[in-house]
Structure 1
């Protein structure tokens, strides 16, 4: 019989809560009735638009083991089913209870914990770590990009006590957001992929972003390891944060001659990469089942973390050849167009100046008999610099030989206007307005890449391409993953 995720009495003690009614065995943790499974403990947290208490009755009707509710909402939910009632706290009482349960999950586990942040590539690096560590022990990791004030405690509270490894993605939009999350996770290894002008509207300058990313080292366990990109201009600033923390040592990665984990050679091919590296003096050669220089460089961070964990470096190197892309981050699908085929590269999850440039570079390396087409949506949270940062992508379009560009949104209008006439496909106000134009433009032999910030809904174009041209799960290629 499968062990329950939580013994009810342990969960109640951790949250300083009391039970009203008779709970069922607790099999998991949920905050969303749409994905809730029978036996899940449902946390009625308050979101930006909705209050989870409004969904408690539905959660219990769907088989939730119990629902965690605030004391001041208990009376109105009487008779709905088993309730775990938490006392008032500053802010959202239920979210506070979930943080308390997360802290208890961290206290009870003997797992080796890695925390990952960075302006670009954190999800891809987290997934790569999950992938290689799963081959070496029971590994628990963040789902999708659950990296914020509710995503991190949700992930931590879901961690089975018997886990051997834990990998947590930690994100931020503003200063001060990473610090409480890393103190909750208490990693033994804290990794920063890179610092770039992402969410720049909330910071005065790039050093502010570096300082915010450097907060991840504040939660390191005594003697922990800080893993930092040696190639990034913010290296010294990040290193200073690490040295001021409880880190026992700093391990750098990159192509820099002084990097501790250094790429001596990177061979880029259309569907994979080969890396010759030195990992703290040890020569290691491995193949990545994912293309792109940015992915190859982030794999060095993976190897640095594996080495710091004391895990099997050779087995990790073998595992990287089988790496698969996270959804919306470089997955490739063959489309049937007319009498031939086209290639779809799905980068629709998110976008910023660095990741768009990396995606354009990867598109340039795709083997295509037809045109290389970029379909780009706005990059958000760039503040006053947004128009210039969008326009500046024209240089990357030219440098990488992209034949045709379609754009959605007012920011990308700046890019569209900066392109030569021959590279202009079409420009629209929103992704939904661009769907028909992109569908009708596709020809056999083309390679089309779709990318934009998540809220621009560029994924609609991806789904429309698959629906029109028959791209299904069986036709997905095992390559991709720009960060």
Structure 2
């Protein structure tokens, strides 16, 4: 297997100056906690930490070399690559790898479902050629170039997730990725605190189309409130084709029927003159719709949709985004944990409640604040009350100041508990859970709902 980067390749790509002996790197890392022996360590300078301070530790852990902006950060005679700015150096590696790649490239954005779509496509495409995808949620100004710089030269399909919370961010990321296929999963009121309204969010998502490769394909949701805006942007791009997916009669990939249960759904859809059927082991109506988008992307890549549909049952949830965990609590109670702790906005919260509604047993919702909603935070939280009632929630454990507005709106048939933080909410929940409960845990990352998940999983030790 050839090296991911040689010292000469990296120097040519970045315009940097080599020091020490020649080297070969099998990977790229920016965090010594995740570094593997043989990685190129990039010393990024962050708001709170300077990666240059960790260069000696990275080399001691087996890093092949270090990409630095300060020569004094390199131990004497250590293998290194000196550049003016390490983030720009990482971006230069990313651009070089993208320019030489023979891979078909997919970029994904949307207000919800990005990481699940990325992971699902990585699973679906793997049978058709070597596939590379962003790790975790590496979808920001350092995660995207890191993911590109990690792409092996023999990659057939590259799948990259693009995130944002301000206008212009997706434009900059898409320019690095230059996708052949661009997928917008959905547009919803997320990050409203940074935008004047939902239309501005839709326009920011549409930035992904500005860097699409000439003749590429844009894949869009047909049923979204902002579908017309997205279609207009796609028609004004260099895309050669547009594929829509959804329940609408005019959707190119149209849902015909679904039969859902607690564990997933059986799906029937129409694409052109073909009827396609698949089993999806991810519960929820939103996952059915998401799977249409994944299949549309694979079709845009030139793959046989029936062969791709046959792999849908292999798709699994991503950590913190729908993983189902049966737990035995210290008192003996057996509960089912639905871990949606990674993030939340109103659309994804309603989708998670739909999954909860499909489960047998007493339904317990453990919800943390949805952040970055600005002036709309209170009404958007309070507006979830009918959804909890429709899902059959019997007990709601809420934390954070914004969730207080929901606590005051819930029907009298729902037992309500509220605490300022997830850490304070955990013991209340542990004391009250019963055998057979199904427990949904969801909130924005900053609400630290992972504290609840880890506390329950550790047998009550928070």
**Shorter-chain TM-score: what band?**
over 0.9
Could you tell me which residue of structure 2 aligns to residue 51 of structure 1? 50
Name the SS of the counterpart of 2:171 in structure 1: helix
2:218 to 219, 222, 226: 226
Among 166, 173, 188, the alignment partner of 2:165 is 173
Answer yes or no: is the 8 Å Cα contact 2:21–2:77 preserved in 1.
no
Cα drift, residue 56 of structure 1: 1.1
Deviations 1:248-277 (A, max 9, x none): 011110001100000011111110111100
Q: Secondary structure at the match of 2:258?
A: strand
Contact preservation (8 Å) 1:416, 1:424: no
Give the match for residue 82 of structure 1: 79
Instruction: Determine the structure 2 residue equivalent to 1:393.
Output: 384
In structure 2, the CA distance between the partners of 1:173 and 1:137, relative to structure 1 (3 Å rule), is: same
CA distances 1:304-336 after superposition (whole Å, capped 9, x unpaired):
111111113222112111211100011111112
Deviation at 1:417, TM superposition (A): 1.4
Provide the secondary structure at the position in 2 that maps to 1:271.
coil
Aligned length: 460
- In structure 2, the residue matched to 1:33 is 32
Matched position secondary structure for 1:324: coil
Does the 8 Å contact 1:23/1:66 carry over to 2? no
Report the Cα offset of residue 130 of structure 1.
0.8
Contact kept? 1:136, 1:312, Cα under 8 Å:
no
Query: Could you tell me how far 1:398 is from its partner in structure 2?
Result: 1.0
Contact 2:52 2:73 (C-alpha < 8 Å) held by counterparts: no
Match of 1:355 among 348, 357, 360: 348
Contact 1:178/1:212, CA 8 A, preserved across alignment:
yes
Paired with 2:60 and 2:272, the residues of 1 have a C-alpha distance of 55
Separation (CA, whole Å) in 2 of partners of 1:427 and 1:40 = 46
Structure 2: 5+ residue stretches without partners = none
1:445-464 correspondence to structure 2 within 5 Å: 445-464=436-455
Q: How far did residue 231 of structure 1 move?
A: 0.1
RCO higher in structure (CA 8 A, sep ≥6)? 1
Partner of 1:444: 435
Residue 341 of structure 1, aligned match among 331, 334, 338: 334
Residue 293 of structure 2: aligned partner: 301
**Runs of 4+ that moved beyond 6 A:** none
Residue 432 of structure 1: how far off its partner (Å): 0.7
* RMSD of aligned residue pairs (Cα, Å): 1.3
* Structure 1 unaligned residues grouped into runs of 5+: 471-483
- Aligned partners of 1:187 and 1:179: how far apart in 2? 12
| Cα deviation, residue 290, structure 1 | 0.9
- 1:348 is displaced (CA, Å) by 0.3
Query: For residues 416 and 309 of structure 2, what CA distance do their matches in structure 1 show?
Result: 41
Match for residue 174 of structure 2 among 154, 179, 182: 182
Selected match of 1:375 from 366, 369, 374? 366
Give secondary structure in 1 for the equivalent of 2:262: coil
Once the two structures are TM-superposed, the CA of residue 469 in structure 1 deviates from its matched residue by 6.8
Q: TM-score, normalised by structure 2?
A: 0.97
Deviation at 1:453, TM superposition (A): 0.5
1:325 to 295, 311, 317: 317
Q: What does 1:15-414 align with in structure 2 at a 5 Å threshold? A: 15-70=14-69, 73-79=70-76, 81-86=78-83, 88=84, 93-337=85-329, 338-368=331-361, 371-414=362-405
Q: Deviations over 1:195-238 (max 9, x none)?
A: 00100111111110011000000110000000000000101101
Compared CA separation, residues 277 and 224, structure 1 to 2 (3 A):
same
Q: Residue by residue, what CA displacement relative to the aligned partner does 1:441-466 show, whole Å, maximum 9, x if unpaired?
A: 11101100100101211011111111
Q: Distance in 1 between matches of 2:189 and 2:104?
A: 31
Cα distance, 1:423 vs structure 2: 1.4
| 1:326 counterpart SS class | coil
Distance of 2:262 and 2:118 partners within structure 1: 23
Deviations 1:36-81 (A, max 9, x none): 11111011111221111111111111111111111xx213534272
Match of 1:473? none
CA distance in structure 1 between the aligned counterparts of 2:391 and 2:33, rounded to whole angstroms? 42
TM-score computed with the length of structure 1 as normaliser: 0.93
